[in-house]
Structure 1
Amino acid sequence: MSGNETETVRLELDWERFMADNDMEWVVKPVSWDEGAFIGNGLIGAMIYGEENARKRNVLRFVAGRTDVTATRTDCAGFRPRVPIGELDLELEGMIYHPTSLRLDLWHAELRGVLTTTRGEVRVRAFAHSEAEVMAIELETTEGEADARLVWYANSEVDPVLKHADGINMNQYIPAETVDKTAGSGGISFSVQRYAPSESEGCVTAWKEIRASEGRRKIWYVSIVNGHDERAKEQAAAAVRKASENGFGAWVGAHRRWWHRYYRQSFVSIPDGRLESFYWIQMYKLASATRADRPLIDNQGPWLAPTPWPGIWFNMNVQMSYSPVYAANRLEIGESLVRALDENREHLTANVPEPFRHDSAGLGRSCSFDLKSEVDDEVGNLAWICHNVWRHYRYSMDDEMLRNVLYPILRGSVNYYIHLLEEEEDGRLHLPPTISPEYGSFMRTRVRDCHYDLALLRWGCETLLAISERLGEADPLCWKWLHVLDRLAPLPVDETGFMIGRDTPLAYGHRHFSHLLAVFPLHLIGCDKEEDRELIATSFRHWIGKEGDLRGFSLTGAASIAATLGWGNEALRLLQALLLIVKPNTMYKEAGPVIETPLAGAEAIHDMLLQSWGGTIRIFPAVPDEWREAAFHDLRAEGAFLVSAVRSEGRTRFIRVKSLAGEPCIVRTGWTGVVRWRKAGTAVPEATVDLGTQQGEIALNLQKGEEAILYPDGELPDLRIRPVSPSARPVRYFGGHKPWRLYGFPFRDRE
């Protein structure tokens, strides 16, 4: 291809084939939450696995969850935690044996498999419908398994052999429940669970079995509704009735079309096949965990398991869970967070002490979906959440959301900080002792001028001023924000880099990057000045060098900081270390399962390919030396730009930038010498920029809807975007534990 002035970038991709190599696969029955197959539609879902106990080797479990089912604690004060619901058990005539195989088809968002038993064979398909609050399980059996059946067990009815298969639950609150199983009209059955002592808390599970007229095929439709009154029963029944009365093929088609549209919002391909598969599984996980009109992502999504954290944590977890939605161009997923804050503003106000409620807002460490969580000594959590919403704004440029949601909530968060400031003898404004998340947790270590809070306060004041200017509204508090920025104590630093706070160096292993928030994700300090770059590098090395107490989320934060520094090789090593910690199904667990760490790993991959903080779009800013090839299409950047780029033979071949909002655009290409650019799809004469020997920046003047193609001096390159061809790709590595696939066997060609 050359010289065609109207040539445009296009993605050439067989999506179904590409995604097939990223599917999760089990060559034997999964036997724990750690390696189970998971399905979900942002509200209801199931983790699917079995058990090796001889009494239950004939069972495949569909451990069900609905995100918003909570219960009031009777054992102590605290927020309403998530509680387990129950499970649908596929009870077979024989014991599940070999050969048995399962595969989670990412492209179609459904599990398919063949269960071989000592009596016969069962073909199974399962999915949580993308547009209905219904899960479907389809079975087809041989004669020996003709009596295979699905049975619903409320949590209190689950056999202890199964309930304690992943360990006895010592931490999570489990309410006493009463269970009433009834049959309704039209073949629909119900399990009504009531949680004592509440008169309103509980859930209804409704199901219906449809037997096909031909062969031994049957389909179960299952819906779970929060609440246990007649209205909840009717809602569950209506969902099952509507699903079961539709033609199954058309209903499945609607489910698949939703997922196909979702995946096509952006494309990423990298030469590390294992990381590429990991990335696409996280994209599946995101849309399985929440949607625009569903509850925000808590610590577990629909896949609740025994945990000491059955709720929402705001000192890192929610922020990291949502971190990949912005660059991935999946902003509708992030709308669940924006909506949750907007709908619970009065609780954010009530979370701060009464004297400050007239103008302030806050958010404690943990809570339920109502966001009721009083602020104690961990002050900055609401401000950090506001940074996520600010990213949502910057990637969408939605001024209405900025004015009506972010501005008032961030204003309240900053006001609370300002109430806490104290002027000392040095003339500076200082913060009283507060907590830097996760540092000295068991000792409740408090530090003056905590980096976490100073960084968030500075970012908050700068952002409020920027919002006021953007909206053209002179806020009467502008003078106060300027005063704070002028007089606020500096971030504490010693010879090891950033400190936890004043008089508190990083003295021992710290799993959180709360003392580096100014670097990532706030980007208050960049790498353009050599002294800033050296400070970041020193802080990073000291933190990681302490090593003790590092966790999976430490590695994701470290990978993003390394990417900020342009250290692609280091970022890759950190992500490869992460893959040793995540579970075979890409879930993550410490004392209990938590969802944020793998999702933040996807954001770190974005940071290696595209960064857009500080008003500059950076293309391939931190690719490791071994990534000679890489490609992405329609990743999103701040300023509401869609960006595509291809790298081959170690060089960036072209960059495409499309403006969705007509904002100013500066692109750091990584090229030197002469660079050409033209507006795509038109005969506009190309512009030429000589970057000299520096990897300079190019300013593009793009109106809304316009796009530009940039390329090094010479002919217009091939503008097709295709998957890169990784060498020694471990096909379908995730799912069941299959470490041998890293080493090239079994021997098979890439499909």
Structure 2
Amino acid sequence: MKNLITTTLLILCHGFCLAQLQNTEKKYLNVLTDNKPASSWIEAYPLGNGRLGAMVYGNPNNEQIQLNETTVWAGGPYRNDNAKAAKSLKDIRQLIFDDKFAEAEDLACKTITSEGAQGMPYQTVGDFYIDFVGMEKYSNYHRELNLDNAITTTTYNANGVTYKREIFTSFPDQVIVIRLTASKPNSLHFTTRITRPAKTIVTVEKNNILKMAGITSDFEGIKGQVNFESLVKIVPEGGTVITKDSAIEVVDANSVILYISIATNFKKYNDVSGDAYEQAMDYLTKASLKKYTSLREDHIKFYKKYFDRVKLNLGVTDSVKKPTYTRIKEFSKANDPQLIALYFQFGRYLLISSSQPGGQPANLQGLWNNQLFPPWDSKYTININTEMNYWPAEITNLSEMHEPLITMVKELSETGGKTAQDMYNAKGWVAHHNTDIWRFNGAIDGPPGLWPCGGAWLSQHLWEKFLFNCDTNYLKSVFPAMKGASQFFLDFLVEDPEHKWLVVSPSMSPENAPYMIRQQWKVITAGTTLDNQLVYDLFSKTILAAKILNSDKDLADSLKVALEKLAPMQIGKHGQLQEWLHDWDNPEDHHRHVSHLYGLYPSNQISPYNTPDLFNAAHTSLIQRGDPSTGWSMNWKINLWARLQDGNHALKLITNQISLVEKCDYENINYESGGGTYPNMFDAHPPFQIDGNFGFTAGITEMLLQSHDGAIHILPALPDSWKKGDISGIKARGGFEIIELNWKENKIDKLTIKSTIGGNCRIRSYWPLKSNKPIRLVENSSENPNSFYITPQIKKAVISKQTTNTRKVYAYDIDTKPGEIITFNE
């Protein structure tokens, strides 16, 4: 009897604990938390609606909210093409082919690099402060960023009163909304002020509006032309409002709502004729007419239609109860798989918050920047970083967030036509390694800027978006940019005298140099592997687009001829995939860029099933390059290891990424210190670059689903420790959506897929599957009848039909109709 009672109590206790944990799960699942205010910017929580950004510190005594507006950039419309390039191009190429790299680089820097502006910086609007009276001592402090509703909340007790702040950047109403409440009447007493680390005019307008007006900085000879207006309206319930020259005081209020509206005169990259004050006041007036409950509900509804599309569960432990910074610090030793899921969803949150249709694309820091002159100007670095920002867009069901980047590529194709003509006497359009809001296309920053393939890489996104939506009207809208990028390289490619291959020259493998070229450390060269891969992709995809649209047959024919002459990928003496045209790689080179592995990811030119020899060579290169790396590079490698189907190695890098970096030194940037994660979950490059966050989110998806080489591969790189879990809402190329994917004991338990456009669906699995519809077991390497909508099958320079260490796979074809849902199980 005693044993029975004991057993019953244990069962009841277990049930109670399980229920308690489930309640904990609901409370903390998608929430960043802290038990202290932010003491620095890398601890503050980010909010954004695509246009407005806010970093919330949550200080009880002096609340600080750092402000951004996505069009607040220094300078104004300008060009920076160097017309000397056209005359020197032939000489530079000859010097490169004669192995005179120092002379070639010196001449190129003088005649290709811009003699004018090197790009404008993205700038902070400033900081808004709420200085409270009597909050010096407080207790029971808690602040959080809830990813489920995109709202920050701060609560604490002071003087026997419970205070609460809710802040959000409204998507539909285009203002920042702050609501202050207290548990006792007449308990709110504070003064508001707004500042900027540059000259502005701060005044108090009628109707309790605090106003700051300014203009962005002159920079590198370009006059600042962006006028901005920041308006703060204060609406108290109860109490008294006291207006001063440049501040507003609120005394003894019960609750207060504050609205922050910011706007500029920016209309387009070549047009700053807007009225900043009129636009800011329009946003403010309309928002302040709505009740707070309506503002909040409309904001949440807008946001959740994106965020709620995807759910990920890797398991939950008691670690979720701890502050986020503690979880990051303890991650390498703790059992906290939910932190990975939180990090994944944080990346999706950041993309929704920093890239909305009709606005600017996410820059090097997304939307959030607290400086006038940030590192690398927080521009668009288009030799990897800008592209990485959008790796999660399609696969994590945020296709709409891709639109600002697509628009920027179209705009660069407009500005880049003159650059191609003036600098290289070429048709089409060109962009080098960087651009900004003014859409400059010329080369900047000396040797790193001599890379002319920015347009080629950006153009991949035009096609990539099509692969997921298969919308021919969309494809028709972006085809001119694809066509123009291809036309440029038809004119720019030159024959390598040694191999007679067509190569890009002059160029470089982004930001890296051969470990040794004739005892010189020079980046300039010709025919780098990345360039060959990019041009191959660009030409292949433009040919397919022309075929789909029944357009430009002559262009397609010319591209086909050029394709056959491009330099192939090559395997070097160390068994590596060569980074350069010649076998210059050194196994001791641990540079952060792994540009030659573009063909493995994000491209699909290297596959264990189609090019096993190149697959093995890419594996060797990644091993030689090493794991330690900066933030964005670490996260690129997560994706690469996922493509190599090694989930355990990908998880090792995930663990390296989720390591706490508590300080951010903007003055002494040290790549050797490696990456990690700041307390607010921003990626530590160092310093902060948002591409690492986006690369992480993409990497988790690639571990669970791949669709790049003609099949939807389920759980291709599942780590051994992720024994069970589930994900829903992610998307595959060809118009397929994963409605549900559950796995148990490291293998598929249930799979439900929706076909949005119909056609053949090929599933690849490590385990045999059954379905609710007739399915056909097929050869894994056979051509997919629907691959036209999946991806071009690209094979290059297969030296020997090696085998890989990949697991046995089963491939199934199933016919689908638009809107049809198919289920699979083991």
Query: Which has the higher relative contact order, 1 or 2, with Cα contacts under 8 A spaced 6 or more apart?
Result: 1
Q: 1:340 and 1:511 mapped to 2: Cα distance?
A: 27
Distance 1:145 1:104, change over 3 A: farther
Shift of 1:46: 0.9
1:28–1:98: 8 Å Cα contact kept in structure 2?
no
Within the candidate set 645, 659, 674, 1:566 is matched to: 645
Query: Residue 822 of structure 2: SS of its match in structure 1?
Result: strand
| Superposition pairs of residues 168-247 of structure 1, within 5 angstroms | 177-184=199-206, 186-195=207-216, 200-213=225-238, 216-227=254-265, 231-247=275-291
2:119 aligned partner: 79
Q: 1:385 and 1:584 mapped to 2: Cα distance?
A: 32
Shift of 1:126: 0.6
Gaps of 5+ in 1: 1-13, 52-56, 157-175, 680-685, 713-751
Distance 1:152 1:615, change over 3 A: farther
2:65 aligned partner: 62
| Superposition pairs of residues 538-549 of structure 1, within 5 angstroms | 538-544=620-626, 547=628
| Superposition pairs of residues 240-319 of structure 1, within 5 angstroms | 240-271=284-315, 272-306=337-371, 307-309=374-376, 310-319=378-387
Distance 1:616 1:17, change over 3 A: same
1:582–1:598: 8 Å Cα contact kept in structure 2?
no
1:88 aligned partner: 128
Gaps of 5+ in 2: 1-21, 79-114, 240-252, 267-272, 316-336, 444-448, 515-519, 660-675, 781-806
2:194–2:202: 8 Å Cα contact kept in structure 1?
no
Within the candidate set 567, 584, 589, 2:684 is matched to: 589
Query: Which stretch has the larger CA shift, 625-634 or 93-102?
Result: 93-102
1:636 aligned partner: 731
Distance 1:230 1:381, change over 3 A: closer
Within the candidate set 487, 508, 511, 2:592 is matched to: 511
| Superposition pairs of residues 712-723 of structure 1, within 5 angstroms | 712=826
Q: Report Cα offsets for 1:343-395 as digits up to 9, x if no partner.
A: 44311223324265662212122222232121452122111111122211101
1:747 aligned partner: none
Query: Residue 127 of structure 2: SS of its match in structure 1?
Result: strand
Q: Report Cα offsets for 1:153-175 as digits up to 9, x if no partner.
A: 2313xxxxxxxxxxxxxxxxxxx
Shift of 1:267: 2.1
Shift of 1:116: 4.4
1:323 aligned partner: 391
Q: Report Cα offsets for 1:111-163 as digits up to 9, x if no partner.
A: 1112445796532111111212100111124779945325232313xxxxxxx
2:73–2:216: 8 Å Cα contact kept in structure 1?
no
Within the candidate set 498, 517, 530, 1:452 is matched to: 530
Percent identity among equivalent residues? 21
2:693 aligned partner: 598
2:140 aligned partner: 99
Corresponding position: 1:22 with 2:30:
yes
- TM-score normalized by structure 1? 0.83
2:413 aligned partner: 345
| Superposition pairs of residues 605-616 of structure 1, within 5 angstroms | 605-616=700-711
2:758 aligned partner: 662
| Superposition pairs of residues 96-135 of structure 1, within 5 angstroms | 97-116=138-157, 122-135=163-176
2:573 aligned partner: 495
Shift of 1:98: 3.7
Distance 1:658 1:32, change over 3 A: same
Q: 1:116 and 1:352 mapped to 2: Cα distance?
A: 63
Distance 1:425 1:40, change over 3 A: closer
Amino acid at match of 1:584: P
1:34–1:587: 8 Å Cα contact kept in structure 2?
yes
1:320–1:600: 8 Å Cα contact kept in structure 2?
yes
Q: 1:319 and 1:695 mapped to 2: Cα distance?
A: 31
1:648 aligned partner: 744
Shift of 1:330: 1.0
Q: 2:501 and 2:123 mapped to 1: Cα distance?
A: 48
Shift of 1:448: 2.3
1:724 aligned partner: none
Q: 2:166 and 2:24 mapped to 1: Cα distance?
A: 18
Q: 2:160 and 2:62 mapped to 1: Cα distance?
A: 13
Amino acid at match of 1:655: L
Query: Residue 593 of structure 1: SS of its match in structure 2?
Result: coil
Amino acid at match of 1:187: N
Amino acid at match of 1:221: Y
Q: Report Cα offsets for 1:399-458 as digits up to 9, x if no partner.
A: 1221221x2222222322232322225332233241211214996611221111011011
Amino acid at match of 1:58: N
1:363–1:371: 8 Å Cα contact kept in structure 2?
no
Number of residues of Structure 1 aligned to a counterpart in Structure 2: 662
Amino acid at match of 2:712: I
Amino acid at match of 1:648: K
Q: 2:705 and 2:778 mapped to 1: Cα distance?
A: 23
Distance 1:19 1:566, change over 3 A: farther
2:74–2:224: 8 Å Cα contact kept in structure 1?
no
Q: 1:597 and 1:265 mapped to 2: Cα distance?
A: 22
Distance 1:144 1:341, change over 3 A: same
Corresponding position: 1:678 with 2:772:
yes
1:671–1:691: 8 Å Cα contact kept in structure 2?
no
Query: Residue 677 of structure 2: SS of its match in structure 1?
Result: coil
Distance 1:430 1:77, change over 3 A: closer
Query: Residue 485 of structure 2: SS of its match in structure 1?
Result: helix
Query: Which stretch has the larger CA shift, 325-334 or 442-451?
Result: 442-451
Query: Which stretch has the larger CA shift, 140-149 or 239-248?
Result: 140-149
Query: Residue 709 of structure 2: SS of its match in structure 1?
Result: helix
Shift of 1:277: 1.1
1:657–1:707: 8 Å Cα contact kept in structure 2?
yes
1:641–1:659: 8 Å Cα contact kept in structure 2?
yes
Distance 1:368 1:678, change over 3 A: same
